[in-house]
Chain A
Amino acid sequence: MITTMPMLLRRELWEHRALYAAPFVLAALVVFGFVLSFFTLIFTGSSVNAAVSALELTGAPGGLAGGAALVGVPFLFMYFVLVGVVFFYSVSALSEERKDRSILFWRSLPVTDTETVLSKFLTAILVAPVITIVMVVITHVILLVLASVAIMIGGGNPVELLLGPLPFVQIWVLLAYMLVTASLWFAPVVAWFLICSSFAKNRSVFVWVFVPWLVLIMLEGIVFRKPFVAPMIARRFSDGVPAAFDAPAVGVLPDNIDEEVFFEMLKANDLNILELIAPGKFLMTPGLWTGLIVAAIFLAGAIYFRRLRA
C-alpha cells in the first residue's frame, strides 16, 4: 500500500491530464492577460508610470488595489477551475475504466479495490489542490516580478511600493489553509461523486449525482413539514468558510474595507491576515466530522461497487 500509492497517484495524472493542464493553461492566460493589458496601455500612449498607476499597482489612493488583484484574481480563477476539474475527474474516475474495459487489466494486478478507490479520492482532495496552490504561487511570483520590473522602469522602488506591503507568505499560507479545509469539508461531496462513478453506467453518472437528492428534496417537501435534506445540502455549501475562518473576518476583507486604511495597515504590517484562520474552531465543528463519516461510508460503497461491477 505504502509503496504502490505514489504510483497509483501518478497513474491518475497520466490519465487525467486536465488535473495539471487546466490550471497551467489558466496560469498562462492570467500572465498573458496582465502583460497584454500593460502593453495595451503603453501602446495607446501611456507612459510606464501611467500604466502602473492605471493598473493600480502602487500607491494610494486606489491603494494597491491592483496589487491585491494580482494576488486575489489568479487564486479566484484557479479555485473555480479546481472545482470544475475535481468535479469532472471524480464523476469519471471509476466509470471510464469500465467503459474502455481497462478495469480488466487493472484488476489483473495486485492492487486492491480499496487502494484504487483511495488513490482516486486522494487525487481529488489532495493532489488537485496541491497542484492548484503550486500554480497559484508560481503565477503570483511571475506577476509580481513583471509588475516590479514595470515599476522599476518607471523609476519607482518595487520593494517599497508593492513587494513590501503585500504579505505574500501569509497570503499563501492562508490560501493553502483554505484549500485544505475546503478539501476536508467537501470530502463527502467528492466521495458521493466517486460512488456514483463506481455504481452507475457511464452515461447515467450525472443522473445519479443529482437526481436522488432532487427526488429526496421533492419528497420531503411533500411528506414532511420540516425538510431535512435540503437544509443539510445548503449547510454543506454555506457553512464551510465560516467554520474554517474567524467570523468577523469573513466578508470584511478585502471588499468592504476602506482602501486607504487597508493600504496603510499593509504598509505598517499591522494586518496579520493569518489571524483570520481558525483551525481549532474548524476541528471542533461537528459538520466536519459528520461529513468525513459520510465520506467514509460513500467510499466503502464505491469500493464495494467497483468489485461488484467488474
Chain B
Amino acid sequence: MAPLIQAKNVSKHYGDVRAVDDVSFDIEPGRIVGLIGPNGAGKTTLLQAVLGLTKYQGSLSVCGIDPYSDRQALMKSISYVADVAVLPKWITVSQLLDYVDAVHPKFSRADAEAALRQTKVKPNAKVKALSKGMVAQLHLSVIMAIDAQLLILDEPTLGLDILFRKTFYSELLSDYFNEERTIIITTHQVEEIENILTDVMFIDNGRIVLNETLESIGEQYTELMASAEHADAARAFQPISERSVFGKTVFTFAGAPREQLKSLGEVRTPGLADLFVARISKERAA
C-alpha cells in the first residue's frame, strides 16, 4: 500500500531559524504515530506543513494531495485539532453540529451526538458557558465524527485533567482507530500515549532523530539498572546515556545484546520519555 504521508527533504526556514530542517519520512496507513519533541523542536511547524497551513521547501504528499496547493481537497480527507481552546465562544453546540454537517461531506452528525450524550454538554448550550474540559470534549467529539483517513491531534489534552485524558486515549483506540485510519499525536505527556502508539518519531532542532515502530524499539533498545560494581562493565557496551537513580546507575543501550546485559543487572525496554531524553542529549552532545 502507498504511504499515506510521504515527506522528502521538507524544510521550513524562518529567517535563519530552521524550524524544519531537511526532513524525510513515510507514514503508512493504519498507524498511530507519536510525534515527540521539546518545545520549539519543529513539531507544530512540521504538522502545519502536513496540513497545508504553511509553505515549505521539498516535497510533501498527504493522501496523494499536495497539502499547500490543494488544501481544501485535503481537508475533506483529514481532520485535525490544532488546539482544543479555539471553538468560537458565541456558537451553540447545535449550531456547531449544523455548520460542520453542512460544510463537511464526511461528518456524521449522529456519531457526534452519540459521543456528546456521554458528556454533560447540552445541545443548546453556548461554548461560552462550557467548562474548558467540556469545550475539549465537544471539539474532539466533532472532529472524531469525521470519517477521515488521517487524524492529527496537536496537544489534544493540554490543560485537561488526568481522568479525561485517560478516557480520551482509550476511546481513541477502541472507538475511532482502525486499520484504514492513521493518527498522528503530539503531546508533552509521552507516558500517557506510549501504550497506544504503533510508531514514534523524535524531533529535535527541526530534525528527526528517531523514527521507529514500537516493536523495533523493544528489539533495539535496552535499559539496564546496574549497581555500582557493574557500572564499568556496562559502560563497555557503549550506552547512549546513563543516569543515577537511588545509588544505582541506569544505562540505555542501542543495539546491545540484551542476554549479556542481563548478568549486569535488571533489564527492560526503556520508556519513551527516558529514551527520548537519552537520544536528544546524545544528539545534542554530538
If the complex has contacts A108-B82, A109-B75, are A100 and B102 also in contact, measured as CB distance less than 8 A? no
If the complex has contacts A110-B75, A111-B72, A310-B53, are A104 and B100 also in contact, measured as CB distance less than 8 A? no
Q: How far is the CB of A83 from chain B (nearest CB, A)?
A: 24
Q: Which A residues touch B8, using CB under 8 A?
A: none
Q: What mask results when residues 212 to 224 of chain B are scored 1 for a CB within 8 Å of chain A, else 0?
A: 0000000000000
Q: Which A residues touch B71, using CB under 8 A?
A: 112
Residue A235 is within 8 A (CB to CB) of chain B in the complex: no
Q: Which B residues touch A15, using CB under 8 A?
A: 88, 90-91
Bound complex: CA of A11 vs CA of B72, how far in Å? Answer: 19
Residue A44 is within 8 A (CB to CB) of chain B in the complex: no
Q: Which B residues touch A7, using CB under 8 A?
A: 98-99, 102-103
A110, B72: Cβ atoms closer than 8 Å: yes
Residue B117 is within 8 A (CB to CB) of chain A in the complex: no
Residue B171 is within 8 A (CB to CB) of chain A in the complex: no
Residue B139 is within 8 A (CB to CB) of chain A in the complex: yes
Pick the most buried of A6, A11, A103: most chain B CB atoms within 10 A of its CB: A11
Bound complex: CA of A281 vs CA of B267, how far in Å? Answer: 89
Residue B85 is within 8 A (CB to CB) of chain A in the complex: yes
Bound complex: CA of A10 vs CA of B85, how far in Å? Answer: 23
Cβ-closest chain B residue relative to A111: B103
Chain B residues within 8 Å of chain A by Cβ, number: 30
Residue A256 is within 8 A (CB to CB) of chain B in the complex: no
Q: How far is the CB of A202 from chain B (nearest CB, A)?
A: 15
Bound complex: CA of A173 vs CA of B115, how far in Å? Answer: 50
Q: How far is the CB of A247 from chain B (nearest CB, A)?
A: 46
Q: What mask results when residues 13 to 24 of chain B are scored 1 for a CB within 8 Å of chain A, else 0?
A: 000000000000
Q: Which A residues touch B91, using CB under 8 A?
A: 14-15
Residue A43 is within 8 A (CB to CB) of chain B in the complex: no
Q: What mask results when residues 84 to 111 of chain B are scored 1 for a CB within 8 Å of chain A, else 0?
A: 0111111110010011101111000000
Task: Tell me the chain B residues, 138-193 only, with Cβ under 8 Å from chain A.
Answer: 139, 143
Task: Tell me the chain A residues, 97-115 only, with Cβ under 8 Å from chain B.
Answer: 97, 100-105, 107-112
A4, B102: Cβ atoms closer than 8 Å: yes
If the complex has contacts A7-B103, A14-B95, are A102 and B88 also in contact, measured as CB distance less than 8 A? yes
Cβ-closest chain A residue relative to B73: A110
Q: Contacting A110 at CB < 8 Å: which of B86, B98, B103, B139?
A: B103
Residue A238 is within 8 A (CB to CB) of chain B in the complex: no
Task: Tell me the chain A residues, 261-310 only, with Cβ under 8 Å from chain B.
Answer: 310
Residue B81 is within 8 A (CB to CB) of chain A in the complex: yes
Residue B283 is within 8 A (CB to CB) of chain A in the complex: no
A100, B88: Cβ atoms closer than 8 Å: yes
Task: Tell me the chain A residues, 77-125 only, with Cβ under 8 Å from chain B.
Answer: 97, 100-105, 107-112
- Going nearest first, the 6 A-B pairs with the smallest beta carbon separation are A7-B102, A110-B75, A102-B88, A104-B86, A104-B82, A105-B86
Instruction: List chain A positions with a Cβ less than 8 A from chain B.
Output: 3-4, 6-8, 10-11, 14-15, 97, 100-105, 107-112, 310
8 additional A-B pairs beyond A107-B53, A108-B81, A110-B103, beta carbons within 8 Å, are A4-B102, A6-B102, A8-B103, A14-B90, A105-B139, A110-B76, A110-B104, A111-B75
